[in-house]
Chain A
Amino acid sequence: MLCFIYKWNLSRAFDSGKPLDRRTKRHLVRCETCREFSRLGEEIGRRLYEDAASLARDARPGLGDKVRQALGEPGQTPSLSLPKRLRLRPVLAAAVALAVIGVSIIWMVRSRPARMPQLDPLFRLETQRAYLLSALQRAESPYQAEILELKKTLKSTADYLAARFDIGLGGDKE
């Protein structure tokens, strides 16, 4: 009933040259049909080898000449081989082209934010000016405080002198 499996195993053994497994060997002992298949398979293989050799001895003298003659006709030129490095297959070339396109897209997308200020130089100048002004203000602030302090001192001194000497500035004389 399962002879087709054993026949397949036998067929594989013919082609691979590997020995049969134990189960197939056991089956062959019991099954006459599979033994016949095995015998016939070996016989067919042997005859195919031998008869092919006898066919190869047949001479067809005109055949080779016919081909040689056709090779000499105009238009029959061989495609000369290129060095191996230059033999770029179309699939490989397509893959390389795709990779280049992919890399260039990624590069463009990544480099765009860094390039944006360059697209608007006025904005960058304004930002820099604001930064410089605030820095300047921060740098001037200690002197300004001192000036204010001096102004206050001078004012109070002037007030004292005016009160002490009572200098009239051409005011009302009663």
Chain B
Amino acid sequence: MDAIREALSPTDEELAARAAAGSRPAFEELVSRYSLRLFHFLRSRSGSDEDVEDLVQETFLKAYRNIGRYDYQRKYSTWLFTVAVRLSISRHRSQGAKPLSLNSEGPEHPSSGPQEVLIQKEETQKAGNIWLFARTLKPSEYEVLWLRYAEEMPMKDIARAMKRSLVGVRVLLHRSRLKLGKKLRAPSPAADLAEAAAAEQRLSIL
């Protein structure tokens, strides 16, 4: 029954075409389809959930204002993620003077930074989700992994969304997987802390 409903429901591209013709409900349907996906995609760029939600909202507003420019022969998801990437980068540039919780394209998140603290907090709730480790990578590395594995985008669409060459995307994916592999093999800071606390307790008993 769900499969039939899914087959009958309009595609993203059809909805975008209707939205471009002036239908707001069509665009709202796109918002419900993509808001959570965009939220997770943009998470590496911001320190708090509120900031990410603001960025998601801005992305949709920008997409709504410029829906007339969308080319229906291309995938809507590629276009929307392109808008999101550009917006997040420009937002980080404009906030360059302010003290940020993390760098847009700088070094990976420091172990004692707010991002790391947030991740550790979440780690206790959702133990073992690999995307939490991925969030400690550089934003571009996290984003390329998200587009490749969560969105299952073709390589050329990833290249278009991230404004990189095809080879550039392949290299970035290779590097991201290598780094993630190293992080997965290395003991996590939270585990280190837990281990250290346990050792201290044992010593105090002795």
Interface residues of chain A, those whose CB is within 8 Å of chain B, are 7-8, 11-12, 14-16, 37, 40-41, 44-45, 47-49, 51-52, 54-56, 58-60, 62-64, 66-68, 70-71, 76-82
Contacts and interface: CB of A to CB of B under 8 A. Distances in A.
Interface string B146-171: 10111000010000000000000010
Interface string B6-50: 000000000001011110100110011001110110000000000
B79 interface: no
Nearest to B132: A51
A51 B135 CA distance: 13
B177 A64 contact: no
A44 B57 contact: no
Contacts of A70: 57, 60-61
Q: How large is the interface on B (under 10, 10 to 19, 20 to 34, 35 or more residues)?
A: 35 or more
Contacts of A81: 17, 20-21, 67-68, 70
Interface in B34-88: 35-37, 39-40, 53, 56-57, 60-61, 64-70
Contacts of A68: 28, 31
Interface of B: 17, 19-22, 24, 27-28, 31-32, 35-37, 39-40, 53, 56-57, 60-61, 64-70, 129-131, 134, 145-146, 148-150, 155, 170, 173-174, 177-178, 180-181, 184-185
B24 A63 contact: no
Contacts of B69: 79
B20 A78 contact: yes
Given A11-B170, A49-B149, 18 more contacts: A15-B155, A37-B181, A40-B181, A44-B177, A48-B148, A52-B40, A52-B146, A60-B53, A63-B56, A67-B35, A67-B60, A68-B31, A71-B24, A71-B31, A78-B27, A80-B20, A80-B68, A81-B70
